[in-house]
């Protein structure tokens, strides 16, 4: 029956082993007498949405799908519409008539509700849904309840109470990333500390090569990466302003089609960018993680993390966007030499597998295990000038010598960074000053090199030596 529904309604002729296991467990839970609670952790690319969409079609009563992002809701609604599956959407910003129309669908036989924690927690919405029997309450991207709930999404912390009020036959939490600590937190928030079944897939993505680049100028490293790494490519940034400034800069200096994406854009603008990037075979997208959990682009070849992610969950979510078609893909972390690599051990893959409880396997590709040398571009060039001519240059004149704008009698160092953009050289010098590798003294700000063994200082912040 499962295979028949998968083929007829979704056009899928063969289920993955984990999909079949999860779907069977959900259907068994629906046939039981007691309420069931299941947490499913499946890596990005294994088709976790099918695991709850297929059972929802076999339910006699309501299936309520809860998403943390509007982009995720829109994506799911689009997929359901394309498959000819009717769904009611409940979200913020709806007029009274739109809300009544959505709830009216349930009276006419619609059995799938797509919503978010804030809307579901509204008293009027909750009371309206309590009038129906609920088969499934599904919380997708459940790790966000742990990561965001206490910080800025308090509505996520009420999901457990909402489940108690709706009394579904089965409460399901799905995520692609959850360490043991997050699993425990989800159990507390979503399942109210009641017993739950845990189904966990292998977190390893052997087709993804993990690497890091220590950089004095992230602008320089990013420009080289965007022009040389396989595309389509996405650059994950911390904030909206950075996505826009990087997209403008990359477009101006690479002449590639680069665009910015974040939750602050209008719905129309986000939709246009999503449609463009889904079709693009050569595009570059600078985005917050609003895109990371929003749209399924299977042919993404390279992911660049502009800053070190805060935790392994964020890293796996972002890097997991690459290579969803099973072909070779790359995940690069751009790291300031002053940033500590606290979330990783030496091997990135081993760190991920250990944190998510997966069996340790031979690393299929990362810079550490393959012995890739961690050369910091621009470091030796800046050091050489300052070691041989200490206190000769201030910041401005040093930039001119390195870029070849002023010879100043230094033929051997003239223009050693001439291929760099001026803003990149400025960033590299500022990094040296900020890290204490170089120092400026006096009112004139003359610069000298402060560390003889600078290569050791920089490497030791990244690898244990």
pLDDT tens per residue, range 157-186: 999 999 999 999 999 999 987 888 899 999
- How many CB atoms neighbour CB 332 within 10 A? 24
SS3 52: helix
In this predicted model, what pLDDT tens digit does every residue of 14-52 receive, in sequence order?
887 778 888 888 988 888 778 899 999 887 767 888 999
Q: Examine the domain organization and report whether 239 and 214 are in the same domain.
A: yes
Residue 256: which region, alpha, beta or left (left: phi > 0; alpha: psi -120 to 50)?
Answer: beta
- How many CB atoms neighbour CB 329 within 10 A? 22
Q: Examine the domain organization and report whether 134 and 22 are in the same domain.
A: yes
Q: Which CATH number goes with the domain that contains 343?
A: 3.40.50.300
How many angstroms separate the CA atoms of 246 and 223, rounded?
Answer: 10
Q: Examine the domain organization and report whether 83 and 18 are in the same domain.
A: yes
369 domain residue, yes or no: no
Confidence band, pLDDT 50/70/90 cuts, at residue 411:
low
Q: Examine the domain organization and report whether 67 and 139 are in the same domain.
A: yes
Q: Examine the domain organization and report whether 287 and 247 are in the same domain.
A: yes
Residue 417 near residue 402 (C-beta atoms within 8 A): yes
Count of the separate structural domains present in the chain:
3
Q: Examine the domain organization and report whether 224 and 351 are in the same domain.
A: yes
Q: Which CATH number goes with the domain that contains 410?
A: 1.10.10.10
Residue 357: which region, alpha, beta or left (left: phi > 0; alpha: psi -120 to 50)?
Answer: left
HSE-CB at 214 with a 13 A cutoff on CA atoms is 23
Runs of H (alpha helix) within 140-196: 143-148, 159-166, 180-189
- End residue of a domain, out of 200, 232, 253: 200
Q: Could you tell me the residue range of the domain that residue 193 belongs to?
A: 2-200
252 domain residue, yes or no: yes
The reported pTM is 0.71
Residue 184 near residue 24 (C-beta atoms within 8 A): no
33 domain residue, yes or no: yes
Q: Examine the domain organization and report whether 422 and 296 are in the same domain.
A: no
Q: Examine the domain organization and report whether 265 and 168 are in the same domain.
A: no
How many angstroms separate the CA atoms of 240 and 270, rounded?
Answer: 13
- End residue of a domain, out of 200, 230, 256: 200
- End residue of a domain, out of 322, 355, 388: 355
370 domain residue, yes or no: no
Q: Is the pLDDT of residue 233 over 60?
A: yes
- Predicted confidence at residue 460, as pLDDT, reads 40
267 domain residue, yes or no: yes
180 domain residue, yes or no: yes
- Predicted confidence at residue 129, as pLDDT, reads 96
H/E element, 304: strand 302-305
Helices 159-166 & 180-189 angle (0-180, nearest 10)? 50
Q: Examine the domain organization and report whether 332 and 413 are in the same domain.
A: no
366 domain residue, yes or no: no
62 domain residue, yes or no: yes
Q: Examine the domain organization and report whether 164 and 105 are in the same domain.
A: yes
Q: Is the pLDDT of residue 108 over 70?
A: yes
Q: Examine the domain organization and report whether 14 and 140 are in the same domain.
A: yes
Q: Examine the domain organization and report whether 47 and 190 are in the same domain.
A: yes
**Helix-then-strand count for the chain, H and E:** 20, 15
């Amino acid at each position: 029956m499962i295979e028949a529904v998968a083929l007829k309604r979704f056009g899928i002729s063969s289920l993955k082993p984990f999909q079949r296991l999860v779907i069977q467990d959900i259907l068994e839970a629906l046939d039981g007498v007691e309420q069931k609670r299941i947490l499913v952790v499946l890596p990005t690319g294994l088709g976790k949405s099918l695991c709850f969409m297929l059972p929802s079609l076999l339910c006699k009563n309501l299936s309520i799908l809860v998403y943390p992002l509007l982009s995720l809701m829109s994506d799911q609604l689009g997929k359901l519409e394309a498959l000819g599956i009717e769904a009611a959407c409940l979200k913020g910003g709806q007029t009274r008539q739109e809300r009544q129309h959505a709830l009216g669908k349930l009276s006419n036989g619609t059995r799938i509700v797509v919503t978010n924690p804030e809307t579901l927690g509204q008293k009027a919405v909750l009371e309206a849904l309590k009038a129906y029997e609920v088969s499934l309450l599904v919380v997708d991207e459940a790790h966000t309840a742990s990561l965001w709930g206490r910080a800025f999404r308090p509505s996520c912390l009420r999901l457990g109470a909402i489940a108690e009020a709706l009394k579904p036959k089965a409460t399901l939490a799905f995520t692609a990333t959850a360490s043991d600590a997050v699993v425990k937190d989800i159990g507390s928030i979503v399942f109210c500390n009641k017993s739950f079944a845990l189904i966990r897939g292998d977190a390893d993505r052997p087709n993804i090569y993990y690497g890091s680049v220590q950089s004095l100028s992230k602008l320089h490293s990013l420009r080289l990466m965007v022009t040389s790494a396989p595309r389509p490519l996405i650059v994950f940034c911390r904030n909206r302003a950075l996505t826009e400034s990087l997209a403008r800069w990359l477009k101006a200096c690479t002449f590639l089609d680069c665009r910015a994406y974040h939750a602050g854009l209008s719905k129309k603008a986000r939709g246009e960018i999503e449609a463009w990037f889904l079709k693009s075979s050569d595009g570059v997208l600078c985005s917050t993680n609003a895109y990371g959990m929003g749209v399924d682009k299977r042919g993404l070849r390279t992911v660049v993390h502009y800053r070190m992610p805060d935790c392994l969950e964020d890293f796996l979510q972002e890097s997991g966007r690459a290579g969803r078609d099973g072909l070779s893909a790359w995940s690069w972390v751009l790291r300031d030499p002053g940033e500590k690599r606290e979330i990783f051990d030496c091997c990135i893959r081993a760190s991920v597998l250990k944190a998510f409880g997966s069996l340790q396997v031979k690393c299929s590709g990362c810079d550490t295990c393959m012995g890739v040398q961690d050369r910091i571009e621009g470091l030796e060039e800046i050091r050489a000038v300052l070691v041989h001519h200490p206190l000769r240059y201030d910041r401005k004149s040093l930039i001119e010598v390195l870029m070849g704008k002023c010879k100043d009698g230094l033929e051997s160092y003239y223009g050693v960074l001439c291929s760099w953009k001026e803003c990149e050289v400025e960033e590299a010098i500022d990094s040296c000053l900020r890290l204490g590798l170089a120092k400026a003294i006096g009112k004139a700000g003359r610069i000298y090199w402060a560390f003889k063994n600078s290569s050791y200082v920089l490497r030791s912040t990244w690898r244990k030596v």
